Every structure is written in C-alpha cells, then in structure tokens.
Structure 1
C-alpha cells in the first residue's frame, strides 16, 4: 500500500487526506501547529491517522509521496530531508489533478486572481458543470472526491505552483505580477516571477495562456522565455488581432475572427483593474464556447468578492469600504486609484518588505487622514507622517473605525485597505474584514 504523508492539517491537507484514502493510500496527516477542531473531527470520523504540535520524522520519511501545505516554505529542514530521500513533494493541486480528467482553468497573479476566478466561475456556471477551488472555497482535492465536476476554475498561488510536477491547466490566466511574498523567494523578484509562470510550463500549443499585456514584468518574461501555449493578451492601452483591448469604452475581444463586444459602462464592478478582470474572465468563457449573451449578463450582475472593495454601509453620507484582502501595496494601489472622494485610509499589519512610493500621488490627491492599524506602525508613520495632516495609530479595529467616524466628513470614504498581511492582530484577512464590518455596523 502506498503511503501518503500530508504536512499541514488545514483545508487543503484534509481534502487531500480524504481523496488519498478513497484512492487506496495509507494516509498520515502531520501538523506542527494545532489542527482546528472542525478538521480533527473530519479526520477522526474518516479514521485517518493524524498528529499535531509535532512531526514524527521516522513516519514522515517513510512516505512514498508527501503533500505539503502551501503555507510551509520549501526551505524548512524537514522538507529538505524528505526531498533528500528522493520522496516527491507535491502541492494539493498537483495531487488532486492526478485523479480528474476535468477541463481546468488555472488563474494566478499577485492581485485580482480571486475576483477573476470568482467572476469566471460566475459566468461559466450558467452553461457548464463547474467547481471553484484552489485558494478559495472547499479544497480542490475534496471537490474531486465528492463532486467530480467536469470543469474547474482554480485560483492558484505561487506557493501552490512551486510544488507542481505535471499539473497543466487547459486555460491559464496570469492577471499581473508585482513584488509580493519575496520573503519566500530569497528576496529575488525573478524567483517569484518564475514561480508564477510555472502555471504554463506543462502547457502545449492546444492550451491557452491569457495575460495582461500592460504588465511589463509579464511581457519581458515572455520575450526571454518560450511558452508552448497559445498566447492571448489583454490590454487597456494596446490593440491586437487576437486578444482583448479597449476601444471607445468598449471591451473588444477577438479570437480566430470570432468577436465579443461589451461597453465598460455596463460592468457591475468599478475601476480599471476590474475592466482587466472582466477581460480575462470573458476570454476564458469565450474559449469554452459560452454564449455572448450569457457572458454579458454575468458581467452586468456580478456582485464582487467579500473583502475586496466591498461597500459595507453609508453612515451620515460617509461610505465605509472593506478591502481587507489587499495584503500588498499593489492591491492597495488599485483601491486608492478607484476612490472618487476624500478618503480616510486604514492601513497596516505585517509588512512583507513593502515599498509605498507608488502610492504617494494618491496620498497627496485623495487621502485626508491615515489610521495605522498594526503592532508595529513605525515604517508607516515615518513614510506618510509628513504627507497628511492627520495620522493616528491604534491596535484595535473598533478604535480605528471610531477614529475614522470622527475624522470623516459628509461625502468622504473610509477605506480599510491594509497593504499588509494580517497575522499580527487578526487570524487572517477575512477575520480582519469581518471585524471592520462589525465595527462599522456598531457605530
């Protein structure tokens, strides 16, 4: 019996354990931290062996294959030991893809991937039997086991791509690439870029890579590296014979002389970045032969993703906006760019080596006050202190929202867009976003 060891007892780990057991593996789940009760119950109920707060090395090194949670860096000594023994280490998407013949749409990028994946799924589900997984919702492995969809839209992080071997999406999307998670890539941007491009490394000419042609990082990489797949660019600035571009405020998509046109004014989601997300999603739908009418209607009624520029409430003519999902500077750039009123900006958390310079024009033009919400706000205070009249620091969401309420005037926005990870004060970005929404509702 083949032995499957799973490092990490979270969503992807437990999903893989269930699929592995069903497919005849002897499964062992090991987590250095504490496995959440809801996952422990699933493991116990399914009679899957597990341990937490420790790693039993002898058992782990006896594996035929190891699935490692994306949160565990490849640099850890245990992972190096496993690889040193010649035991394959794979990610959940690699493992799960071995057991499905479904058509896979894989979406990666530093920002926009959740919105693009959710929007793509929203369009496809009207005409196809399709699951949404990866970095979002139920794990891919669990869906392959339980629902066995004919199609999947997967939101895929660079960490998940680091541990693929044969994984190959029929349609790949790279929304953009900006410096993020560099702490995991030896602070080499090039390593992170290569990691993102792994989404296309097993593709053939019968597969597609959809990408942002306005993103110089992507276009430079494509100049210097060969990709086998059929390339379909999208852009707000350039035009293409085969691709998607803007013409007189219309999205214009042409593939093999088949056309789709949609006025940007009809898009439910606002902001330039969402025009790009819509371009990517409609290209996927077009390639999968979804009717134009369905694509149009879906783009017109898609509500957006929780914690991504989510309009919470208007109180005394002040709009409160939850963009907790903005865990890097580029995501916050999009948020500030889309503000059309004076803004009280709540920022801060775990800084991943951020460079805030690209935000300066927006700070001068749109931000009237800054509230720093983090354990260590020193860098924010020194960077932005001289740029705004009001800059305040706090370590409580409820206090941050109360301060914002006092500072904001009628017609202003209050924007939570932290540009940082959340782990200093919150469980994750969802927890941070929910605390913000609760604090706003309690004003």
Structure 2
C-alpha cells in the first residue's frame, strides 16, 4: 500500500510543526505556501528532507493528498480550499492532527479577548506547581512540533476560532471560553452568531468527565449556551453575582469553589494582573488550577508574581510624567475597550491600521470620558474620524510609529497616558502587531 500523502498549506510555526510530526510518522509530506517562506522555516524543512514550494499553490501537487493540514490564517474562501472541498479531501488543523499522536491532556482556552494572557497565566501556575506541562496553539512553539519531540502530561493551548473551524474529532479535557465579542466578522459573513457558533466548538466531543469554564457575565456566551448541549461539568465565573460552583467576586475578593470546603480566596489587590478584564482572566486560570487540585498557596503565589506578555498593556516608559503603554496586540475594538477601561488617567490614544469591519460604537463613552486626543496611525483613517469626530477635539493622522509617538508626545499633558491600542490589524504599515509594538517602543525610547 502506498504511503498516505499529507499536504500542509502554510509554512509558518504551525505548518512546519505539522510537517515535522507527519514526517516522523512516516507520511509522504509536502508543504505549500502561497507567500514567501521565512528562512528559519525553510532550513527546518530542508534539514528534515521535506519537499516544499513557496509563492504558489500547485494544484496537482496538492489535490493528490490523502489529507490536508491548513494554516488557521487561510480562509475557507481561498481557491485552493474550495478545490479541496470539491474533491472531498479532508482539511484539518494542526491541532487536530497533533492530538492524534499524544496521550497528554489538554486545557484549551478561547475567547475574543484575553486568551493569550489567560493561556500564559494558566501555564505559569501549572509550571510553578510542578506539573509536566507544555504551552502551544496560537502562542509559542507549535503543538505538533512539541508532540513530535517531547512528552508532556498536560498542554495549555490557546485556540482561535479559525483553528476551531478545522477541528472535528479533537476533544478538550478542560475547555475555557472567556467571552464572545465581534471580531473577524469578515470571515463569518459578518454574522456574530456564525462566529459564536465557531467559538462553541471548543466544547465539541466533551463528556461528563470533562470540564467547561465560561464567563457567566458574557451575553453572547449565554445566548450561545441556550442553543448548545453541554455534557461537561460546568464552572462559570462572574464579577456580578455569587456562584456556588465556579468563581465570583465579592468585596474585592475572588472566591473560587470547585469542591465543597476547598475554597480559594484572594484579594484582587494581590493579583499581578490589574483591571476588570484581568479579574476574569485570573478567575478562569484559578478555576483550572483548582480543578487540577493544585495547592492554594501555589496558585496565590503564581497569580501574584505573573509577568504579562509583550505587546499586551505593556509599560514602556515614563517620560516627563507621561506614561507610555504598548498594547499593539489589541487588533480588535473590544481589546481597545479593555485597554481604555484599565487605564486610570486621561489618554492620548494611538489607533488605526487595517479595519476588519469595526464597529466603534462601544468605545464612544470611554473615548468621551478619557481620551484627550486620537493619533491615527494607518493608511486610511476615514472610519476613525467619522466614528469619533463628535467625541474628541483632536484627531491627527500619522503614517509611522515614529511620527505617531512624536505627535502624541506634544499632545500629552503631565499625568496623562499615551496608549498604543490600535483596534485594527497592522498589515498596512507593519509586518505584524509585534513589529508595530517594537517600532512604537523604539520611538518612545528615542524621545
């Protein structure tokens, strides 16, 4: 019998990881990327003797696949995906593929906002408690690459809706859904319910032995839950109401109950992550830790000493009594809302970039009450001007991180915060949100 042929579309972190794992298990592997492949990934493929192509998709090298693993970034509307579907060739995600080859249990974290922070915090707590744990998914090293080289007992995986769309038999042992807000609607026919249905796939295939952790304060989650059968044991969390089994906030103290008489309490002032949204993130991570029966002291200690990820509400500098914060990872409106909500001073807001069909209405109240000026950074800022011309006196256009920082520096008064929180993707002026954040930080350091 001939070897099964696995074709991988996209040669980034996840694609190359999938190629490593497929090669290890004796498949005939071919990697195809419509763009250019980064040098480090090219040399990784060459080292493993895996054939690949870049800057094109050659139909006859792809449509002979037994199965295709695609990068989460490739939409279902791409011509090559349409051709695969027409030829009835299964298309799956790297996560789906990797799970077949590991006995490790998975903690899968999704949501429109806070998933990177919650994934990192959960991993930090587990690692400090001595759990043999890996970190992967949308963050860090690819899940498949780790499955091919390491043996972990648990993985904490950050899972995007795009990944979930290509996951079918995969099951999360512990699923966490933080929130559902309008994001990436361009991939979901501009319908929030389609995007919500995608997020709910995080609990597919779960049994009563599994765990589902979700935010009881999130309207869209509650709406979607009415339409969904949940088999897993549920642990909701809330900052608005008391919850018997799960987590809640009362008098500035978080209470986490997963078993009778095993409560964990912690004052929110002790949390490393401040701001309302981070109380939710900390509750979600805390429930995971309690479900795994980790010791309260260990959980408290880790939740108190965690350092947040780069480009997410990252303190850059304080210059002439003005604080500069890099929140370049805020690529949607909701993230920017969270950022504004967590800053305690008046703000000069740097925003803009590639607009994904954004609805800026949810920002209006915060902009009116907190934002002194908006500095737009992007090729086309028309929508931002239209959205906020009645809410803020000054809106300025700039076309580089350097220019944006210079303008913000002159607009900011003592005691203000200059906040880069774009609410948009970065591809018009930058390689990615990391590049945007790094250029912003470099510009601030030159002031």
1:332 to 331, 336, 349: 336
1:42 aligns with 2:47: no
Gaps of 5+ in 1: none
1:4 aligns with 2:22: no
CA distance in 2, matches of 1:354, 1:369: 20
Alignment correspondent of 2:77: 75
Residue 366 of structure 2 is aligned to residue 357 of structure 1: no
Offset of residue 282 of structure 1:
0.6
User: Shift of residue 256 of structure 1?
Assistant: 2.5
- The C-alpha deviation readout for 1:327-368, integer Å capped at 9, x for no partner, is 111110111111111110001011111111111111111111
Match of 1:405 in 2: 409
Residue 50 of structure 1: how far off its partner (Å): 0.2
Local SS of the residue matching 2:440: helix
Deviations, residues 67-122 of structure 1 (Å, cap 9, x unaligned) = 01001011222212212222211001000111101010000000000000000000
2:387 paired residue number: 383
Q: Distance in 1 between matches of 2:105 and 2:229?
A: 24
Residue in 1 aligned with 2:104? Answer: 102
- 2:173 aligned to 170, 174, 177, which one? 170
Match of 1:265 in 2: 269
**How far apart are 1:224 and its partner, in Å?**
2.4
| Structure 2 match to 1:321 | 325
C-alpha separation between the residues in 1 aligned to 2:20 and 2:290? 34
Q: Which runs of 5+ in 2 are unaligned?
A: none
TM-score by length of 1: 0.99
Q: 1:343 aligns with which of 347, 352, 358?
A: 347
Cα distance in 1 between the residues matched to 2:259 and 2:342: 34
1:209 paired to 2:187: no
Query: Corresponding residue for 1:125?
Result: 127
User: Equivalent of 1:442, from 424, 438, 446?
Assistant: 446
**Residues in 2 aligned to 1:213 and 1:319: alpha-carbon distance in whole angstroms:** 34
State the Cα RMSD in Å.
0.9
Residue 310 of structure 2: SS of its match in structure 1? Answer: coil
Q: 2:141 aligns with which of 125, 138, 142?
A: 138
TM-superposed CA distance for 1:61, in Å, is 1.0
SS at 2:348 equivalent: strand
Give the distance between the partners of 1:277 and 1:225, measured in 2 at CA: 23
Given candidates 233, 240, 244, the residue that maps to 2:236 is: 233
The structure 2 residue matched to 1:254, chosen from 254, 257, 281, is 257
Q: Which position in structure 1 is the counterpart of 2:279?
A: 275
SS in 2 for 1:161: helix
Q: Say whether residues 1:59 and 2:49 are aligned partners.
A: no
**Structure 1 Cα separation of the partners of residues 161 and 106 of structure 2:** 17
1:276-306: CA deviation from partner (whole Å, max 9, x where unpaired): 0000001001111211111000011111111
Partner of 1:23: 25
Q: Specify the alignment match of 2:246 in structure 1.
A: 243
SS in 2 for 1:125: helix
Select 1:157's aligned residue among 157, 160, 168: 160
CA distance in 2, matches of 1:332, 1:155: 20
Which residue in 1 is equivalent to 2:15? 13
Aligned length: 443
The CA deviation at 1:58 is 1.1
Aligned residue for 1:181? 184
TM superposition score normalised by structure 2: 0.98
